[in-house]
Amino acid sequence: MMTIEQFGRRLRARELTAVRVTEECLRRIEADNPRLNAFILVMADQALQRAREADQELAAGHDRGPLHGVPISIKDLLDCRGVPTTAASRVREGHVADRDAPVIAHLRQAGAVFIGKTNLHEFAFGTTSEDSAFGPVRNPLDPTRSPGGSSGGSAVSVAAGMALATIGTDTGGSIRIPAAACGLVGLKPSLGEVSIEGVVPLSRTLDHVGPLATSVADASLVYHALLGDAHTTPPVPMPIPGLRLAVPRKYFCDLLDDDVRARFEGALERLRIAGAHIDDIEIRHAADIAAVYLHIVLGDSAPYHAATLEAVPEQYTPNVRLRLEMGRYVMAEDYVRALAGRDVLIREVDAAVAQHDALVLPTLPIPAPVLGASSVQIGASTEAVRNVMLRLTQPFNVTGHPAISIPSGRTASGLPCGVQLVGCRMQTDALLKVAVACEPQITDGSQPLSGNVGG
Amino acid sequence: MTIDAWLQAATADAERRGLPELKPLLETLARATTTLRAADFNGHAGGQSSVTSRQSSVDHQSSDSRHQSGDMKS
């Protein structure tokens, strides 16, 4: 499999066609989806029809831009007209979207070929993609392990060569976590930049839509298409010498798997050697983040699900049902305290990034966990899988700062790790310029997962 | 409402609704609420203001004076 940039060059050089690459994606889905369970709906006929149209348009001189003819998968949480949006739940049986979400309409206009709707943690309320009405999603590197979540099927679709990029959502890390667990780039734009209309909500104040791809440049192209800017170009890298990065050590580096820590420190060292200046900083209220996040996400999710929790509770997966029920017990005064904490955290992260080009920290404290595990050992500490997986990503859902996860090599057992860069609010493009500059040092030349698996 | 009183009422309500398995999750929420209420950004009518929210909040350190790993839990 290739990047979107490589695909575009070869498409316009007439070395390949959109139909040929779409057929290759469909072949990989047919071969590997029964094992990996990445897709809930494969849109083969529609995809091939759209690919044929893309080839015809290009032959006639109509070029829609970098996503013209690109096979893209969509998390089954976003409305695509004429097909169901299941949210991986039986609760939504019978639903068919009567219109595109605005981001889907933008992608359609940009010439994307929708290959299918991907599996996820039910209602995006989980980090492992195992609680789904359609069964668990499996990590292509080790099918006994989770691909992360909640956009797990999306990540697997790209990692296994079933699509060139994918659209996910991120309420506590659901783009960046599976990106790290599957060796991909995952971008959570700044809060409010990309429309969440037509997306099944988890928390309207924490939800984001964004891309997962095999490079920062590809993520940037898809991000701009989501905004309706189809004719975009990849970000111009900032010079690394003089780049000012900040590591928030306390809390963010306190609880890391040894292999993850080694990959992170290796990336920092390579960035230093390349000329970046790296400070250590502290986000003073970092230890309060999990409590703030929990009250907001639970409080926000409860009203949307209250009626169906009463009427059809058995149609939820058991774990997600209980998590949603928790939200019905959050007291108003504590929700308001969480909002106050959110304001404090926003100001603290604002102050941290204002004096630097980006924060740099690991994405996931652990490699992809084994499916079904509820706890994980980190050194001498036993931790709940869900808490650990959210630990380093949820802060920037709370604060709204843009964040991108970049692959940072593999553990000794071959599982991917990720490094996260965080930029100023409403400055996702500036973050992308930093990210594209840092990408070679962070990845250290390791190849993205896509193309190494999937047949 | 105190957290203890809330937890007792919430657990009883969950049991009444046939959801006894909710108890450990409610206990988790109670711990998070304890953390939230103890945070120094909470103002209250007794006169103490939420000073923290108005203070500069980033403490810089030199590159070679990093924090050692600890077991701080979220």
Q: Which value, in Å, is the radius of gyration of the alpha carbons in chain B?
A: 19
Nearest to B42 among A254, A337, A390 (CB): A337
Chain A from 301 to 340: CB within 8 A of any B CB: 322-323, 325-326, 329-331, 334, 337-338, 340
Q: B interface toward A at CB cutoff 8 Å?
A: 1, 6, 10, 13-14, 19, 21-22, 25-26, 29, 32-33, 35-37, 39, 41-43, 50, 52-53, 56-63, 65-67, 69-74
Residue A16: CA atoms inside 13 Å, Cβ hemisphere, count?
Answer: 20
**pLDDT score recorded for residue B70:** 30
Interatomic CA distance for residues A299 and A437, integer angstroms: 39
The 10s digit of each residue's pLDDT in A328-349 is 999 999 999 999 999 999 999 9
Q: For residue A447, what pLDDT band results from cuts at 50, 70 and 90?
A: low
Closest-CA distance of chain B to residue A91, Å: 19
| Residue of A150, A151, A301, A450 marked active site | A150
Chain B: nearest CA to A136, how far in angstroms? 22
The span from the CA of A275 to the CA of A239, in Å, is 9
Contacts with A247 from chain B: Cβ below 8 Å: 66
Residue A363 C-beta-side C-alpha neighbours within 13 Å: 36
A427 is written with which tokens?
């400055």
pLDDT at A8: 98
Number of neighbouring beta carbons within 10 Å of residue A30: 13
Q: Which CATH number is A423's domain given?
A: 3.90.1300.10
- In terms of Cβ atoms closer than 10 Å to its own Cβ (0-12, 13-18, 19+), residue A411 is middle
**Tell me, what amino acid is at B61?**
Q
The residue to which tokens 């988890």 are assigned: A202
CB atoms A294 and B29 under 8 Å: yes
Q: Does the pLDDT value for residue B56 go beyond 50?
A: no
Signed CA dihedral, A377, A380, A386, A391: sign only? negative
The one-letter amino acid at A268: L
pLDDT tier at B44 (50, 70, 90 boundaries)?
Answer: confident
Catalytic residue status for A250: no
Which domain covers residue A269, as residue numbers?
1-455
Tell whether the model's pLDDT for residue A452 goes beyond 60.
no
Size of interface A-B (CB pairs under 8 A): 134
Strand order in the sheet with A39-42: A39-42, A113-118, A71-75, A165-169, A209-213, A185-188, A403-410, A416-422, A358-362, A244-248, A277-283, B58-61
Of all residues in chain B, the one with the smallest CA distance to A298 is B29
Q: What ipTM did this prediction achieve?
A: 0.92
Interface check for A344 against chain B (CB to CB < 8 A): the answer is yes
Predicted model pTM = 0.94
Please give the backbone phi and psi of residue A279, each rounded to the nearest 5 degrees, phi first: -100, 155
Handedness of CA A187, A18, A37, A215 (dihedral sign): negative
Cα distances from A445 to residues A56, A235, A239, A405, A448, in angstroms, run: 37, 19, 18, 16, 9
Return d(Cα A237, Cα A216) in angstroms, integer: 10
Listed in sequence order, the residues at least 6 apart from B20 whose beta carbon sits closer than 8 Å to its beta carbon are B14
- Pick from A74, A64, A66: which is nearest to A103 by CA? A74
Could you tell me the two tokens for A218? 């590809």
Task: List the single residue in A247, A282, A294 with the smallest CB-CB distance to B58.
Answer: A282
- What is the H or E stretch that residue A278 is in? strand A277-283
| pLDDT score, position B46 | 82
Q: What angle do CA A348, A354, A357 make, to 5 degrees?
A: 120
Of A247, A340, A391, the CB nearest to B50: A340
Compute the average pLDDT of residues A381-404: 97
Residue A142 is which amino acid? D
Distance CA A214, CA A179 (A): 9
Among A254, A290, A391, the residue with its CB nearest the CB of B69 is: A254
Chain B residues in contact with A352 (beta carbon < 8 A): 58
Q: CA A45 to CA A346: how far, in whole Å?
A: 46
**Residue pLDDT, tens place only, A263-302:** 999 999 999 999 999 999 999 999 999 999 999 999 999 9
Number of domains in chain A: 1
SS3 category, A243? coil
The owner of tokens 């050992």 is A377
The phi and psi torsions of A41 (rounded to 5 degrees) equal -140, 125
Which residue, among A241, A179, A218, has the nearest Cα to A1 in the 3D structure? Answer: A218
A75 noted as active-site residue: yes
